Structure 1
Amino acid sequence: MSEKTPTTPKCRSVVWKVFKKPAERNRPRLPCPLCPGTSIVYGGTTSGLKTHLETHHKDEMLKIEKAEVTPYNELTKFHDLQQTSNAVAVKPDQSQIYLARSFATGGIPFSFSKNPEFVRFLTSKPENFVIPSPKQIKSLIQVEAIDYLEKLTHEFKKVKKYCLMTDGYSKVQRGFHFYSVHVGFVDKNFTRNVKFVALRNVEKGDAVSVSKAINGVLEDVGLKLSDCTNITSDAGSPLVLLADLHQIDRFHFFQVKAYSSTGFRIHCACHLLNLIICEFSQVKGVANYYKVAQKLAAHLGRCKEDKNKLKMLAEALKIKSPLPLPLPTTRWGGMHILLRNYIDNYEAIKNVAILKKYLIKEANMNKMKELVVLLKPIHEGILKLEKDSSYVSEIIPTMVWIRHKISQITSGFSTILLKAVDKRLAQCIRNKRILCTMLVDHRFAYVDKWVEPMKWCDVEERIGLYETKTASFIDAKTDVSVVDESFENYVFKHSSSNNDNNGSMESEIVRYRAFLSTNRPSDECPLSFWKSQKNNFQKLSLIASELLCSPASSSVSERCFSKCSDFVRQTKRNRATTETLNDLLTVTELCKLKRTQEIVASDTDESDLSDDDDEWTKISIEETAAEEMRTTSNSEDSEDSFSIIDNDDDLVET
């Protein structure tokens, strides 16, 4: 019988830390990976290989011998040396293998190896480190969460006015019903801060239960709901009623009966724009194209084999756009994304036999392309307003820009879409808080086209209701001593036009209007403008600090839910409660805060966990979206579910 040669022979000699052991034992010579072009006599014995290493590579041999004692440190450095010298890759040490196995068995994203906190742990780990138990890790996270809340409580002592960004999340299968709370405020340096506070369970979905939960969160950090000047949220009825019950806006403190409370809660701009897309998606004709793309996405979400075939074909055709995969129903601009990806991958879809039934006829492709072109400005508006750096004052100008872009597109659907945009634009123009915020934004103030058919004089009357002697923050060092007072401040303080800062609001508005009409600043940030002009317009600057404290959308809540939803979805892998999710998110915010204080440029999750090659981060999202699409597809197969849609057989290839 012939001797069986093992495919992965066990390496015993130290030379196999450098040389790659051949499958053929009698191979005459082996190439040296440390000196390319050189081959050493082998013939089944390692004597010649070891002599070569001891003679020509003494330093590397010392490192290998040392690595036998401390494999966790020195062997990694030796491997780095091998890679930098373009040598043949050597076998990784056992610690790296164990680490890779932990990633595989734990379902951890591969890019987690770049996580700043993980890297910090590796560099600070002592030699006698003892791995903590799961209970100890959970306890440490709870302690860190408490530490973060204490820091917030101390910071909020200086906050007098703030805005609230909140949204709800429900998962019926797990019994999850909770709300997230974020607080935005402007500090004494006219810098806006948006802070995550907590997640909190709600017993019911009514306004009273939501109000009770949010009140409890705010009380934990020393804030009062009565000091909240605005709520930015979607149009959920509990949140609308919450703003109504608590009279969230300074207008109500003056008991002005002419103004409706529901007119001043800020409707999340991204949700508002997405409602336009949702309304448009149900229009007769439009829905047919969307339905075909949804069915394809649902199929790809169910069948991984067909998805992989399509992916390989798309790569072969050098298509860079993502596949038309299912998207969660809460994804803003989802219709535009899905139709765009469908069109971009159309050539690849045609070459997969089983996907033929999801093809649209070539003659109808131009119509679908028209839809993508029409929806593009709205999606771009969503991407702009979902940023934390956005302002409420940008909502109306963005919608005016969207309307302008759509009106220039020649399409049979453009008139229908313009009606939907006009409906939401009129809703925003009726919101007096948005108009007042635009007045204190030097980029848009006194530009007539932004507020038509309203007049700026009407806005001036309403902004006076915000006049108050209390700033959005407590500044114990506001008064400048006589000794430290500069000549410029002294002259300004005693000038006739600003004597003792007793000018009326009306006079400040007149001077502000004249200032913008003669020399409108080019600052991109309105808060930077008010930081430089706070001495010239002291009353308006205080109002601006209140009105500009909120972003244009509640996207911070959506991002918060996307971080914790993986725990909620995967019932077999995690039994985390809302309290545990709250602690995890709180510690994440604490880590961000500490890295910001240390002037670390990189952020935590968004930049480090966004590799396109990393499928782990996408699995749960795709599974959930596919489940939603399956539910939608099943309901759409009934005769009554899409009564506004004609038969789409004439769209699909046969």
Structure 2
Amino acid sequence: MITHLRSDHPDDLRKAENERKGKNGAKNEKNSRYDNDANSNLIMALSTSNVPFRFVKNEYFKKFCLLLNPDHIVMSPDAIRRKLAENSNKYILEISKKVGDLEKCFIACDGWDGRYENVSLYALFVYFVDKDFCKQKLVWFDKEVTWNKNRNLQFLGIQKLDGKSTAENIGNLISKLIRLYGIDFCKIMGGITDAASNLKSFLNRNDLYHIHCAAHSISLILEEASAIPKVAQVLAKVNRLAAHLSRSKTDRKKFRDRSAALKTKGRIPLPFSVTRWAGCVMLAVAYLEHYQSISALDAFQQFLLDDNEKKVLNHFIEMTTPFLEAIHNAESDATYCSEIVPQYASLYEFVSGQNQKTRLVKLLTSETLKRYSKYLTNDVALLAVYCDPRFAYLDGVLKTVDWEDIERNAVNYCESSREVRPADATGTEPPAKKSNNQNTFFSRFLESKRQSQPTESVRTEIVNYEAIIMAGRPSPSSCPLLFWKSNGARFPQLSRLARHVLCSPQSSAQVERLFSRCGELVSSSRRNRLFTKTMNDLLLNASLGALKKLSEEVRDKEESESDEDSDDDIGEDVYSMWPRNATNRRSSSAPPSL
């Protein structure tokens, strides 16, 4: 039969063989794609849970996988470690290509210490503006890297710190991380961090600018306000209700059912994480919104407030709502550090216009003024305000600083960081022979005139910049980088300054939110014996998984947090480490958030 087909029907036989090969090839390709997807999801499941690698050797897990696909081969623990390292190396390689033209950048760094301070983890993000005036954020996928120009951060990694959390060890870790991506340390312009002394010491040692995280700075004001005795006494009742609801699943269900019957929307009063900025204010807001639902509990009298306590709590919420809005605004990664000073100017104007006879208003006014004045002495924060056309030369933004002082700082910065163009560095003519009269009065006169030309150029740009701003200021909702992108040729020196100082956001919220996951990993008795290299790869993959999750799903609103009826809704999971866009309650006297 085969001989007959080969001799009399060769074309039909060849066609049938090609079809069979095509079907087998498509089947093999489909199986290969299935295996890759399955292995990638297995890696992410192990990275975002406390399950040890040896779980893949479990007999029943293997049977479960065989029932799903008899041809699938489960990865071994060693293969999992290799895949983790492969993902990390691939990520580093892709980022290294993207940051090749990085000119200046800001870093956001923060650490997490174990309960007994035997483990310290530090994460690092890098912010920069490219030459096309786009702030970029990298979103990691298993097979590709996608760039979103509406975001502004580069996640470099998270690693275990060797030794104590000193400024020297932190500096060594940061140097090690940025070298992995081919970034020169001299390209770091500064950092945005909280008030940790070791991080501030590291920046000061290396002569780098430091911007205090705006969200953390404002949250310190609210902490001081919540410590006022009358306010603290009322907040204690609020916390008792939140603690009771977190412990009792039955009462929590009753409370939710009553709120649903009353059509009360929003998050019920459950405890926030201790690291959550302005958690006391958010809890107080939730308490008042669901006040009518308290009667659904069996023993609810202890959680109710009298008229004076209600008055105190309402006044506390009314005075702190603008501060809460400012924190939520600062937590977004689409902000600019140029918004910090105007935001504080807005808060100070609001609180100084209230009745100063109450202790709460007095404290808010003094604390706001103290931190507002501190930012007004920060050179890079002032330069950022100046380079933002929405706020430059705006009356009421700078309390004690003149715009002329910032202009002088801009001139000095442009002069000290003058860009050397390639055409100047690769001239074809040989260098001119040095004159023997280098120290004559005439040579010094010519040299001074030659050096004054760039300064006059910057001053001319400053004059023209002020004129164009005063003629027509961009809207508050516009992007300042679009202004410099369209006017870069007209203001080459100032546009370069803007690329440097506008790369940082208002806060270090992204890195702050990262450690809810990391603490679970290193505190687990089943995972705390990992080698440092494996743990670093595991943490990097877990963090990239969180980034991927956020790129695929719309972030929930703040009011929908802890909405599931389970005990797990009390804490924050791996995906709540990233800030959410929230709709906030606004008081009638609060100024609009920037």
Q: Does TM, normalized by the shorter one, top 0.5? A: yes
Q: For 2:501 and 2:567, locate their aligned partners in 1 and report how far apart those are by CA, in whole Å.
A: 37
Counterpart in the other structure of 1:130: 73
Take 1:373 and 1:197, find their aligned partners in 2: how far apart are those partners? 40
Q: What is aligned with 1:507?
A: 460
Cα distance 1:606–1:325, how it changes in 2: closer, same or farther (>3 A)?
same
Residue in 2 aligned with 1:533? 487
SS at 2:551 equivalent: coil
Structure 1 distance, partners of 2:469, 2:507, is 27
Work out the percentage of aligned pairs sharing the same amino acid. 29
Hey, what's the Cα distance between the residues in 2 that align with 1:404 and 1:461? 27
For residues 127-276 of structure 1, the aligned pairs below 5 Å read 128-173=71-116, 175-193=118-136, 194-202=153-161, 203-249=163-209, 265-276=210-221
Aligned residues: CA RMSD: 3.7
Task: Give the Å deviation of 1:336.
Answer: 0.8
Counting only pairs closer than 5 Å after superposition, residues 37-436 of structure 1 correspond to structure 2 as: 128-173=71-116, 175-193=118-136, 194-202=153-161, 203-249=163-209, 265-407=210-352, 409=354, 412=358, 413-436=360-383
Contact kept, 8 Å, 2:95 with 2:181, in 1: the verdict is yes
Letter matched to residue 431 of structure 1 = N
Q: Report the TM-score when normalising by structure 2.
A: 0.70
Query: Which whole-Å deviations, capped at 9, do the CAs of 1:525-544 have from their partners, x for residues lacking one?
Result: 11111010000000001111
Cα distance in 2, alignment partners of residues 544 and 165 from structure 1 = 19
Shift in Å, 1:564: 3.4
8 Å CA contact 1:564, 1:581 repeated in 2: no
Q: CA contact under 8 A between 1:296 and 1:324: conserved in structure 2?
A: yes
Runs of 5+ consecutive residues of structure 2 not aligned to the other structure: 1-29, 31-41, 52-64, 137-152, 427-452, 575-594
Q: Which is worse superposed, 533-542 or 314-323? A: 314-323
| 1:438 and 2:392 aligned | no
Shift in alpha-carbon separation, 1:475–1:410, aligned structure 2, 3 A: farther
Deviations 1:424-468 (A, max 9, x none): 111111112111111110000011310122110011111122115
> In the alignment, is the contact (CA less than 8 A) between 1:188 and 1:473 conserved in 2?
no
One-letter code aligned to 1:281: S
Moved more, 413-422 or 463-472: 463-472
Q: Distance in 2 between matches of 1:360 and 1:472?
A: 64
Superposition deviation, residue 618 in structure 1: 4.5
Change in 2 beyond 3 A, CA 1:150/1:331: same
Instruction: Look up the equivalent residue of 1:621 and give its one-letter code.
Output: G
Structure 1 residue identity aligned to 2:515: F
The residue type equivalent to 1:403 in the other structure is Y
Bigger shift: 578-587 or 136-145? 578-587
- CA gap of 1:387–1:518, structure 2 versus 1, over 3 A, is same
Per-residue deviation, 1:248 = 0.6
CA displacement, residues 30-60 of structure 1 (integer Å, 9 cap, x when unaligned): xxxxxxxxxxxxxxxxxxxxxxxxxxxxxxx
- Number of equivalent positions: 466
Q: Structure 1: any 5+ residue segments left out of the alignment?
A: 1-72, 74-98, 109-121, 250-264, 480-499, 596-600, 625-654
Distance of aligned partners of 1:389 and 1:473 in 2 relative to their CA distance in 1, 3 Å threshold: farther
Shift of 1:570: 4.7
Contact 2:334 2:505 in 1 (8 A): yes
Letter in 2 for 1:219: R
Higher Rg: 1
Change in 2 beyond 3 A, CA 1:289/1:229: same
Give the deviation of 1:272 after TM superposition. Answer: 0.5
> Residues 357 and 572 (structure 1 numbering): CA distance in 2 closer, same or farther, change over 3 Å?
farther
Asked if the contact 2:516–2:573 (Cα under 8 Å) also holds between the matched residues in 1, the reply is no
Tell me the distance in 2 between the aligned counterparts of 1:195 and 1:210.
19
CA contact (8 A) 1:188 1:475 kept: no
Is 1:583 matched with 2:528? no
In 1, are the aligned partners of 2:107 and 2:127 still within 8 Å (CA)? yes
Query: Does structure 2 retain, via aligned residues, the 8 Å contact 1:386–1:553?
Result: yes
Question: Aligned letter for 1:155?
Answer: K
